Amino acid sequence: MTSPSSLGRFLAVFVLGFWIAACSDSDDSNGQGKADVSITSNFESGNIGRAERAGDAEWDLYLKDDNNDASLPVNWRNWWYIRIRQQGEAQTLTLNLKNRGWNYFYVPVYSYDRLNWFRLDESDVKQVGASETCNSTTQSPVLDDCELSMRLDASLFDGRPLYLARFYPYTYSQLLTFLKTLEGHECVDQSSVGRTAVFQESIPYLTIRCPDGDDSQVVWVHGRTHPAESGSSFVLEGAITRLLDDMEENRNNSRNLAVHIVPMHNVDGVIAGNYRTTPDSLNLEVLWTFDQASLPFLKSDAPLENRLVNEPMRTVSQMFADRSLIALNLHSSNSAPDRPVFAFPHFGDDPDQYSAEEIQLWNDSNRLLNLLKINYDGRIDTTATGGDGFLNAFFPETWWWRTRAETAVAMTVETTYGRAGFPHWVTETNIRELGSSLIQSIYDYRDGVVPETPINLLRSDGQAEPVFAPMDEWDTKH
């Protein structure tokens, strides 16, 4: 596995070659009354299009398309992550975020060390714009006049650089640091599925299985296909920590679980600071391409990362051909602030519309989701029907269905970035707790627990379950 130090050397070369010229903008003409500010993104997962001074202490920030590829959809502009330095006496700054791909209100996060993150005060963030839809909870396709304006109080600047981001970042280096803490554990085997297409970095692969395990429940999980959807990484940290704790204490029959994890599918995209694609502008999520002749393999022209990750998927699938698998694909979705975690179970329960196998998959998927809803205090949004649109595309779930049908309970799970069912803006700890709840739900699922339905969303602020607008993944998922 590549060490963080070699990654650092690589990044230094990458940054010097491309990022400073493309992404940073500092102002050294410090006139009378003007704040002396530099805004840069030349670090791992950093991203901003351009920064333009709009006043003595005011800056306009423009989001960029992944890889500056203007052919990508507008709503793939979402991720930004910057470093702000102020020289001299600190002033209160205003930053106006423009060129946004989504109009949902949110509260950005800040840090001084890129490890400990805090939310800005909500009262210092407002959404402004002429567009009628700017402050609605539905997405507008035209967002050029819908800004997110942030006030950064002078007290935030104490001489250290201030890092500011759309959401809690989770970099490749951070993943490697976390994986290092698992080294030597008797129930963890760490390897790699191979190296990425552009930066030649290792894509880590973990198998969590105790030597005395019997594989009575086999689970596949991969995350970060969309690089900026960092919620998945906190889910995985929480899930892995919980599972290993249980295995050490021999709780919940956990030692009989076998969990196979590719925690960061699109490593290159994460390093580059992309929102949705690889540095080649590939949306890996919809490129698990196969045909009847290639199955169970992907086609030879499928993206390298997908073919690499598909190898252990195939091995796990074939090794446990005689038993039910759970296969989860972790994402994060832009959505209205109160939307909680949700998922994409497939098909439905109508026998006029679906086969017995399709209804079985729907029922099994929802049993797992409803268990998760119970274990995560109701903060899961379930859906009345899933449909079969995924069969017309090449999602990983499409591959699982074609190779395993109802014996692989395969679905995408989406964390969200807002309050996510909590009375406060969601924290990293809240998302790690989702991972722990997921492990409990897998135990319950394995043990045949059938949750009572219907289950009401247990909003801790006592509000009724809101009606949610369409969100991030719909355009590609269904």
Residues forming the site for Zn ion (CB under 5 A): 226, 229, 331
Residue with Cβ nearer Zn ion (333 or 403): 333
**Which residue lies nearer to Zn ion by CB, 275 or 362?**
275
Least distance between Zn ion and beta carbon 358 (Å): 24
Looking only at the bridges linking them, the beta strands covering 162-165 and 188-195 are unpaired
171 phi/psi in degrees, rounded to 5: -90, 170
Give the residue among 28, 87, 91, 32 at the shortest CA–CA distance from 58.
91
Structure tokens at 167: 């959401």
Half-sphere exposure of 427 (CA within 13 A, CB side): 8
What distance in Å separates the CA atoms of residue 49 and residue 40, rounded to the nearest whole number? 10
**How many angstroms separate the CA atoms of 345 and 417, rounded?**
21
CA atoms within 13 A on the CB side of 62: 16
**Amino acid residing at 336:** A
Under a CB-based contact definition with an 8 Å cutoff, are residues 23 and 47 in contact?
A: yes
SS3 245: helix
Q: How far is the CB of 166 from Zn ion (least distance, A)?
A: 14
Closest CB to Zn ion among 10 and 468? 468
**Residue 228 CB, nearest approach to Zn ion (Å):** 9
CA 294 to each of CA 302, 390, 414: distance values in angstroms, whole numbers, following the listed order: 11, 19, 30
What ranges make up the beta strands (E) of 253-363?
A: 257-262, 325-333, 341-344
Q: Give me the least distance between CB of 72 and Zn ion, in Å please.
A: 14
Q: How far is the CB of 232 from Zn ion (least distance, A)?
A: 9
| 3-class state of residue 297 by DSSP | coil
Residues 6+ positions from 204 with CB-CB distance below 8 Å: 1, 175, 176, 179, 190, 191, 192, 193, 262, 263, 264
State the nearest-atom distance from the C-beta of 352 to Zn ion, in Å.
Answer: 32
Instruction: Identify which of residues 208 and 410 has a Cβ nearer to Zn ion in the complex.
Output: 410
Q: Quick one: 72 or 95, whose CB is closer to Zn ion?
A: 72
In the complex with Zn ion, which residue's Cβ is closer, 265 or 331? 331
Distances (CA, A) of 266 to 224, 263, 403, 466: 6, 9, 23, 33
- Least separation in angstroms between residue 389's CB and Zn ion is 16
> Least distance to Zn ion from the beta carbon of 329, Å?
9
Nearer to Zn ion by Cβ, of 247 and 369: the residue is 369
Residue 415 C-beta: closest distance to Zn ion, Å: 10
Smaller CB separation from Zn ion, 229 or 305 = 229
CB of residue 177 vs Zn ion: minimum separation in angstroms?
24
Residue 149: count other Cβ atoms within 10 Å of its Cβ.
Answer: 17
The nearer residue to Zn ion, 182 or 393, going by C-beta atoms, is 393
Class of residue 278 by CB neighbours under 10 A (exposed 0-12, middle 13-18, buried 19+) = buried
| Closer Cβ to Zn ion, 35 or 236, answer by number | 236
- Could you tell me the CA-to-CA distances from 144 to 59, 101, 102, 134, 228 in Å, in that order? 16, 8, 10, 10, 21
Omega before 396 within 30 of 0, i.e. cis: no
CB 372 within 8 Å of CB 421:
no
Q: How far is the CB of 400 from Zn ion (least distance, A)?
A: 17
Tokens coding 449: 């627990």
Q: Which is nearer to Zn ion, 230 or 436 (CB)?
A: 230
